[in-house]
Chain A
Amino acid sequence: MAIDLPARRPDCDVLILGGGVNGTGLARDLTLRGLRVILVERNDLAFGASGNSSGMIHGGPRYLTTHPEVTRSSCLDSGYIQRIAPHMIFRIPFLMPVYGRGAKAQVMLDAYDAFFAVYDQYQPLKRGRRHTRLTADEAVQAVPGLNPHNLFGAVTLDEWGINGARLCNANALDARERGATILVHTTAEEVLVEHGAVVGARVRDLLTGVASTYTARAVVNATGAWSPITAALSGLEGRVKVRPGKGIHVVLDRPITDVGVMCNAIDGRQIFIEPWGNTCLLGTTDDDTYANLDDLPVTTDEVRYLVEGIETVLPRVREARIVGTTVAARPTLYAYGPTEDALSREHEIVDHTAHGASGLYSLLGGKLASYRLFAEEAADVVARALGFTARCSTHTTPLPGGDRVPEPEMLAARFRITPYAAARLITRHGSRAEAMLSDGGRRGAVTVCTTEPVLACEVRYAVRVEGARTLADVSRRTNLAMGPCGGVECALAAAVIAGEELGWTAAEVRAQAASLIEARRRSRLPAIGVDQARAEGAVDATLRGLGRAVMA
C-alpha cells in the first residue's frame, strides 16, 4: 500500500513486532548498541510461548551426539544468563529412572550413564553439576514417593530453570530504561512496504481502539508461532512457515518433589514433573495446532494424559491439587533444512529482501534457553544493515536487578516482611527489590496475595515501571492469583492498587478483578479435581459480589 511518506526522520531505527523472549531480547540488544527501538506486543509481554514454556535453560543435551558444538554454545549461553540474571535462575536437579529388569534395563542405564558422562564435559560452562548414577534404593531416597516397583536404577542430571515472563520483562525494562518504547496490547495490523522496502507499520492499541503508524528503517517480525500471520500482514503470505506445536503444563499447588523426574507417557513420549518456585509443573504435550493462537484451549484429555503418565513414577501426583494449566504454541521450524549450520536447526533469521520487502526480517524458531544468542545474531544482521558497528554486550551487562542478589533475611528484617516474601521478591527483581520496598513505604509492604506472596509495592511497580495495563498483566509479572485461591483473596486488593495507578473507576476495578478470577478458572477448569471443585462455589460467590452475573 502507498502512504504519504513524510521526508522526516523515521520514528525509530527498528520496529519490533512481538514481545516474547526473542522480541524483548532483540529490543535490549539493539538498544544497548545505540539503536532507537519501538516494540509492539499484541497481548502482553510473555503472553505466548515465552511465558508458558517449561522454563528450562538447558544445555542442549539432545544435540550431544550429532552436533556437540550446539551443546557447547547452549551451555555457554546458559552460563551467560546466570551471569546477567543470577537472581532469576534456579537449579533443577532431574532424575531419569530406569524401570525393568535384567540385561535390557542394564543396557539402558549404562547408555544413560555414558551419555551424561559426555554431557558432564560441558556442565562447567553453566556451573552444572556432574551427573550421578543411582541404584534403585538411592533413587527412592533421592525422590521420596518415587514408584519403587520394578525400579532398576537412575541417573541424575543438573539443569537450570527460569521464569520466562520475568525474563521478558527484565529485557523489556532494560530496553525501556535505555530509551526504547515498549507498547503492550498493541498489535501490528499492517506492515508498510514502499518500493520494495519496509517503511514501518500501522498498529492499533487494542484497549483503546486507537490506531497509529510508526515509521522505521527496519521491521522485525518476532511473533513466534504467529509469524506466518504477521508476515501476511505485509503481503508475504506463504513466505514464512512455522509449525505451531501446542504444549500444555499442569500446575500443582506446591512442589510435591524437590527433584524433577522424567518418564514416558502412555505413547512413549518423554514427559516430566519439575519443582517450580512454590509450585510444580507437569509437562508437556506437543500437538500440531490450528486453533486461535490468542486463545488456545486446554482440554481435559491433555491434562489426564500428563497426570496418568507422571503417576507411573510418582503416584502421589493423584492427590495433589491442580491450580491451573498453561498453554502455548512452540514456533517450531516448519522443516529442518539440510544445512551444515547446526544452529539453523534451532532458529533462523529470514531476510525478506528477496520477497520484495528489504528491511523486513522474521525470526523463526528458537528456544528460551538460546534467546540471547538468537537476539545477538539477529541484532548483528539488523544493526549492520543499518550501519551500526557497536558490538553485542548483552552477555556481560546485567539485566535490571541482576547486578547483585540481596540476602532475603536482611531484606526481611529491614522492611519487616517475611523472609519467604523477601526471597520470592528477590527471584523476580533482584537488587531492585530494595528500592521497590523503600519507595513503597509502610503501605507498600502489605501482603496482597498470600500464596505467592505478592506485596502491594510489587503490584504498583508492575504497573508504574513494568507497564502492566490490565490486572492479568500484573498477574503475569508477579504470579498474583496463581495459587489455589485463584484470585478470590487477592484480585480485588490488587485491582484497587492497579486502579489507583491507572485511573480506573471503582466499577472498572471490580471488572478487572472479576476478569482475572474468570481467567484463572478457565485455566484450571479442565483439571478440576475433588478439592478444587469444592472451592468453586466460593469463586462463584466472589464473582457475583464483583458484579459478574455468573452464567445461568
Chain B
Amino acid sequence: MSATETGVLVIGGGAAGIAAARAAHEAGATVTLVTLPGGATTQTAGLVWGLSRDVFRQWNDGAFREGGRYVTVGAWMHTTAFAALPSLLDVSSVTGTLAVVDLPTHPSWSARLVANTLGGRVVSAKDLPVSETFREAAVKFDTAGVAEGIAASLKSACEGCAAVLMPPVLGLRHDDVAARMAAVLGLPVGEAVGAVGDPPGVRAARAVRRWLPAAVTVLEGRATVAKGGRATVDVEGVGTVRAKAVVLATGGLAGGGIVFDRALREVTANVPVWTRTRACVSAPSGASRGADPTAWFAEGSPDGVGVRLDASQRVIDADGATAVARWLFAAGDVTVTPAGAGLLDALASGRRAGEAAAREAGGG
C-alpha cells in the first residue's frame, strides 16, 4: 500500500479530535481524521460542564437543594462552539411554580423527591409511556405526535405553573422534542440531567459529531505513530499516512488513548505519561510486579493522567521540557487535564491544538 499524504492528521474522533479537525480545516489545512469507534464523548450524560463554570458549580454543590440551582439541558449546545441553547432551563431563574412530571415506572426518577426539594408540584401525564429506562422512554418521545400528545395531557395540570421539568427522556434521535412540547404547553420545558449514557448524552454526542466539517477525510482503524523523526502514522487495515503535523486526540482511559497495564501508558505514539504532579514510572508490559494503582489514585482521579503539553500544544518528553517532535500535538483527555475537565475542555483544547497543527503544517 502506498502512503497517503495529508497536512494535518488527527488521531481520535471524540470531542477533542473533532474540534481539532475543524479548527485545522478552518485555518486552511488539508485534514485527515482517523478514529476507532467509542470513546468518552459517546458515553456522557450530556451535562454541560463548564458551559459556564458558574452554572456548573451551582449545579454541583446545590443539585436539587433548596435555593440551589438545577440546570437542565435539552439539546446539548454550547453558545460559543455551537449555535444555540434552545431548551436550557435554569431552574433558579424560574419564578413561580415548577411542574415536575412523573414517570411512573422509572426507578431513578422520583418526581415527588425532586418536587419536594425544589418546591415544585408533581404532575402526571395521561398515556405516559411505560418504560424502565430513560432510553426506552426517549425512543417513544421521538415518535411523531407522542410528545405533543403528552404535552396536551399535561396542560391542565400545569395550569398556573411557570415551567415544566421533564425527566431526561426528551428524544434519542430527535433534538426538538423539548421545543415541540413547549409549543403545545406555552411554557418553557426543561429536562433533568440523568446519568451517563442517558438520552441527553446521546444528543450531546450527536451535536459534537455534527461539528466535523464534510471536507475532512475520515478513516477508520487503529492508528500508530511510527517510530522515527517523521510524522508517519500507520492505520491498521488502511495503510500509512504521512502528515506535516499530527494531533493526538485519542482520549484518556475511557477513550483508549491511555492504558493501565501494570503501568500507565500512552499507546498510540508511545510518549511519556504524567499524573498531575509527576511522571509515571514505566514498567515492562507483562511484569508481575509493577505500579500500584492505589498509589496512582491517591494522587488524583484517573482521568487526570495523560501526556504533557508545552505552551504551543506540543507533547513534551520525559525531561518535562522539550517537545517530543515539532509535529506532535495533543488535545483532550489524552493530556493531563485539570480536575473536572469535560466535553467543553476537550473542545477548547482541540481547537487550540488544531490551530497550532495547521500553523506547523502550513509553515513546513
Q: Residues of A with Cβ closer than 8 Å to B?
A: 299-300, 304, 308, 442-443, 446-448, 456, 488-489, 492-494, 496-497, 499-500, 504-507, 509-510, 521, 525-526, 528-530, 533-538, 540-542, 544-545, 547, 549-552
Known contacts: A506-B65, A525-B294. The answer to whether A537 contacts B253 by CB under 8 A is yes
Tell me the bound Cα distance from A504 to B110 in angstroms: 12
Tell me the bound Cα distance from A506 to B255 in angstroms: 31
Contact assessment for A547 and B60 in the assembled complex, using a CB-CB cutoff below 8 Å = yes
Contact with A along B292-312 (1 / 0, CB 8 A): 111001001111100000000
Dominant secondary structure of chain A at its interface with chain B: helix
Residues of A near B109 (CB, < 8 A) are 496
Tell me the bound Cα distance from A551 to B113 in angstroms: 29
Tell me the bound Cα distance from A526 to B338 in angstroms: 24
Q: Name 5 interchain pairs, CB-CB below 8 A, sorted by A.
A: A496-B107, A506-B64, A534-B253, A534-B254, A538-B43
Known contacts: A507-B63, A537-B40. The answer to whether A500 contacts B113 by CB under 8 A is yes
Contact assessment for A448 and B107 in the assembled complex, using a CB-CB cutoff below 8 Å = yes
| Chain B minimum-CB-distance residue to A308 | B288
Residues of B near A488 (CB, < 8 A) are 195-196
Contact assessment for B106 and A446 in the assembled complex, using a CB-CB cutoff below 8 Å = yes
- Give 13 new A-B contacts, CB below 8 A, not counting A505-B64, A510-B64, A545-B195: A300-B294, A442-B105, A448-B107, A492-B195, A493-B107, A496-B107, A505-B116, A510-B63, A537-B255, A538-B43, A541-B303, A549-B339, A550-B301
Residues of A near B47 (CB, < 8 A) are 545
Asked if B18 is at the interface of the complex by the 8 Å CB criterion, the answer is no
Residues of B near A499 (CB, < 8 A) are 110, 113
CB distance from A550 to the nearest CB of B (A): 4
Residues of B near A300 (CB, < 8 A) are 292-294
Residues of B near A507 (CB, < 8 A) are 62-65, 68, 117
Contact with A along B42-79 (1 / 0, CB 8 A): 01110101000000000111111100100000000000
Tell me the bound Cα distance from A534 to B252 in angstroms: 8
Residues of B near A545 (CB, < 8 A) are 45, 47, 193, 195-196
Contact assessment for A536 and B253 in the assembled complex, using a CB-CB cutoff below 8 Å = yes
Contact assessment for A542 and B195 in the assembled complex, using a CB-CB cutoff below 8 Å = yes
Asked if B114 is at the interface of the complex by the 8 Å CB criterion, the answer is yes
Asked if B37 is at the interface of the complex by the 8 Å CB criterion, the answer is no
Which of B24-32, B173-181, B256-264 contacts the other chain? Answer: B256-264
Contact assessment for B113 and A533 in the assembled complex, using a CB-CB cutoff below 8 Å = no
Contact assessment for B63 and A547 in the assembled complex, using a CB-CB cutoff below 8 Å = yes
Residues of A near B259 (CB, < 8 A) are 530, 533-534
CB distance from B43 to the nearest CB of A (A): 6
Tell me the bound Cα distance from A545 to B201 in angstroms: 12
Asked if B239 is at the interface of the complex by the 8 Å CB criterion, the answer is no
Tell me the bound Cα distance from A304 to B338 in angstroms: 32
Asked if B217 is at the interface of the complex by the 8 Å CB criterion, the answer is no
Asked if B188 is at the interface of the complex by the 8 Å CB criterion, the answer is no
Tell me the bound Cα distance from A274 to B74 in angstroms: 48
| Chain B minimum-CB-distance residue to A492 | B108
Residues of B near A500 (CB, < 8 A) are 110, 112-113
CB distance from B304 to the nearest CB of A (A): 7
Contact assessment for B297 and A541 in the assembled complex, using a CB-CB cutoff below 8 Å = no
Q: Which 9 A-B pairs have the closest CB atoms?
A: A537-B254, A506-B64, A493-B108, A533-B260, A552-B339, A550-B301, A493-B107, A506-B117, A528-B293
| Chain A minimum-CB-distance residue to B114 | A506
Number of A-B contacts (CB under 8 A): 148
Contact assessment for A536 and B302 in the assembled complex, using a CB-CB cutoff below 8 Å = yes
Tell me the bound Cα distance from A521 to B64 in angstroms: 25
Residues of B near A493 (CB, < 8 A) are 107-108
Residues of A near B301 (CB, < 8 A) are 540, 550-552
Tell me the bound Cα distance from A528 to B49 in angstroms: 28
Residues of A near B105 (CB, < 8 A) are 442-443, 446
Known contacts: A496-B108, A540-B303. The answer to whether A299 contacts B65 by CB under 8 A is no
Tell me the bound Cα distance from A287 to B301 in angstroms: 30
Q: Residues of B with Cβ closer than 8 Å to A?
A: 40, 43-45, 47, 49, 59-65, 68, 104-110, 112-114, 116-118, 132, 193, 195-196, 252-256, 259-261, 276, 288-289, 292-294, 297, 300-304, 333, 338-340, 342
Please pick, from B44, B106, B261, the residue contacting A530 in the complex, using a CB distance under 8 A. B261
CB distance from A300 to the nearest CB of B (A): 5
Tell me the bound Cα distance from A182 to B303 in angstroms: 43
Contact assessment for B117 and A550 in the assembled complex, using a CB-CB cutoff below 8 Å = no
Known contacts: A496-B107, A534-B256. The answer to whether A552 contacts B300 by CB under 8 A is yes
CB distance from A360 to the nearest CB of B (A): 40
Residues of B near A541 (CB, < 8 A) are 40, 43-45, 196, 254, 303, 342
Tell me the bound Cα distance from A304 to B261 in angstroms: 14
Known contacts: A528-B260, A533-B293, A537-B40. The answer to whether A506 contacts B63 by CB under 8 A is yes
Known contacts: A299-B294, A533-B259, A533-B293. The answer to whether A540 contacts B65 by CB under 8 A is no
Contact assessment for A497 and B107 in the assembled complex, using a CB-CB cutoff below 8 Å = yes
Contact assessment for B253 and A533 in the assembled complex, using a CB-CB cutoff below 8 Å = yes
Residues of B near A551 (CB, < 8 A) are 300-301, 339
CB distance from B348 to the nearest CB of A (A): 18
Q: Which of B108, B301, B342 has the most CB of A within 10 A?
A: B108
| Chain B minimum-CB-distance residue to A542 | B196
Contact assessment for A552 and B107 in the assembled complex, using a CB-CB cutoff below 8 Å = no
Residues of A near B65 (CB, < 8 A) are 505-507
Contact assessment for B293 and A489 in the assembled complex, using a CB-CB cutoff below 8 Å = no
Contact assessment for B304 and A544 in the assembled complex, using a CB-CB cutoff below 8 Å = no
Contact assessment for B302 and A540 in the assembled complex, using a CB-CB cutoff below 8 Å = yes
Tell me the bound Cα distance from A525 to B301 in angstroms: 12
Residues of B near A521 (CB, < 8 A) are 297
Residues of B near A442 (CB, < 8 A) are 104-105
| Chain A minimum-CB-distance residue to B117 | A506
Residues of A near B276 (CB, < 8 A) are 552
Tell me the bound Cα distance from A60 to B333 in angstroms: 54
Tell me the bound Cα distance from A363 to B288 in angstroms: 42
Contact assessment for B196 and A304 in the assembled complex, using a CB-CB cutoff below 8 Å = no
Residues of A near B304 (CB, < 8 A) are 552
Tell me the bound Cα distance from A526 to B300 in angstroms: 15
Contact assessment for B108 and A544 in the assembled complex, using a CB-CB cutoff below 8 Å = no
Contact assessment for B64 and A447 in the assembled complex, using a CB-CB cutoff below 8 Å = no
Tell me the bound Cα distance from A159 to B118 in angstroms: 54
CB distance from A538 to the nearest CB of B (A): 6
